[in-house]
Amino acid sequence: MADPAGLAPPRGAQDITGLVLAGGLGQRMGREKGLQPFGGQPLAARALQRLRGQTGLQAVNANREWAAYTALGAPVWPDAEPAQALGPLAGVLSGLQRASTPWLLTVPCDVPCFPLDLAARLSAGLVQAQTRGPHAMAVVRAWAPHDDALLQWDLAPVHPPEPPEGPAPRQPVFALLHRSLAEDLAQWLAGGGRKVGAWMARHPSVEVTFEAAHTPAWAFANANTLPALRALENRPGLTEG
């Protein structure tokens, strides 16, 4: 468990490092996912650009194509054991171990339109939760249309996909994490743990809901295949926003 001492919420962007998670195998994409173009730039470059207004520092977690990722102008932090393919938590651990700021904001590379106020809203959630005690992480809850919904949307361009009824699901790779979590995460991975949600359940967390009524349908849309990525890219105005 993280030590509750020193878990002061971020005071601003200067307390946060933004990390783009691009270390996965991208098997459904069939190629290096973070380097696929979206609106004229690689997905990882777009994510870095969206983080620059929200975080003081930015980096990319990647395990292949180091030269291409380095050319994006941010540090490239591989997993400790890239060949083991331990999943997104290995990238999160790399960020927690390397970040020089007290907080790390993680985002996946395949969600090109994540909100520009993501860091601010997660930070505000931590501030509001202080009355219940210190928290070492804040996590997003939001509806996220996946590949099938994006492809259907491409066939019916007027109306975006409708979110299902009920509470918005957790989006655990969109998280604001205190670097004191690094030791516990390292032990979790060494013990065979892989699931992001299961690890997060070990720690008190703040959940910040991005309500569908006030959040664009595409804000947390992730594309795991090239057709889904192209369908998302074809939406008018999305490549600029």
Annotated binding site for GTP: 21-23, 33, 61, 79, 110
In one-letter notation, the amino acid at residue 196 is V
151 touches 217 (CB < 8 A): no
Strands 41-42, 137-142: pairing is unpaired
Give the residue ranges of DSSP H helices in the chain.
Answer: 43-52, 66-70, 88-98, 118-128, 147-155, 182-190, 196-200, 226-233
In one-letter notation, the amino acid at residue 41 is Q
> How far apart, in Å, do the first and last CA atoms of the chain sit?
38
Numbered residues of the known binding site for Mg(2+): 110
Numbered residues of the known binding site: 21-23, 33, 61, 79, 110
H/E element, 39: none
Rounded distance, CA 218 to CA 149, Å? 11
Rounded distance, CA 139 to CA 206, Å? 6
In one-letter notation, the amino acid at residue 223 is A
225 touches 152 (CB < 8 A): no
